[in-house]
Amino acid sequence: MRAHVCAVTKRWRASRRKDKYYRRAKEEDYRSRAAYKLKQLDWKYDIMSPGDTVVDLGASPGGWSQVALEQVGDQGRVFALDIDRLPSLEGVTFIRGDVRRKEVIAKLQDQLPDGADVVLSDMSPNISGNYSYDHARSIDLCECALEFASKILRDGGHIVVKMFYGDMSGGFISSARRRFQEVHVTHPEASRPTSSEVYVVGLGFRGRR
């Protein structure tokens, strides 16, 4: 069994080294290949603008926060939240904690009395190998991100949420459509072709109801 695990790990590492986005991330000093997913989503849907305030959920190791910093510029602000530590990233305000906890939301709201323009969530459950279970846990994280966004976004704000697609996806997409003027479901090029992940992009938050 141990030999099998080692073989799988070696194949995964070899595959990663061949991945063009992994190589680009190393060359361009991004903390993860996921940075290119957000770049592609932002180019397609114009999610972030100079001067925006962005909140990045599940931010570690920081690839999305790096892209957000680039997009909002010196006049913008980026807040990163995660239950894990985030290595220091100049220009990003890090809050460690679970986004489902009231005290974590309150701590952020204290620093953002006027709310945020964009909420990003690349949160993912720890993969168990049981797709139905992993899909259900992914939907739970999506719903947490949507509820969080509903508390923190300004009217007209945007959200990006990663989701493992499956039979529960329709319910979440319907919930997002009740809260945003436009909702798009997309699979960016930087996502691996074999991955079931998609990104739900909500544009034009309708406001707290």
- 108 membership: H or E segment, kind and range: helix 102-111
Instruction: Return the structure tokens found at 148.
Output: 């969080």
Instruction: Return the structure tokens found at 137.
Output: 């846990």
Residue 96's SS3 state is strand
Q: Residue 63: is it exposed, middle or buried by C-beta count within 10 angstroms (0-12/13-18/19+)? A: buried
Q: In sequence order, what are the beta bridge partners of 163?
A: 198
Contacts 24+ apart (CB under 8 A), 138-144: 138/162, 138/163, 138/164, 138/166, 139/163, 139/164, 139/166, 139/168, 139/169, 139/171, 139/172, 141/58, 142/172, 142/200, 143/172, 143/175, 144/99, 144/100
Among 39, 102, 107, 162, the active-site one is: 162
Q: Is 39 labeled as catalytic in the residue annotation?
A: no
Asked if 11 contacts 17 with a C-beta cutoff of 8 angstroms, the reply is no
Active site residues: 162
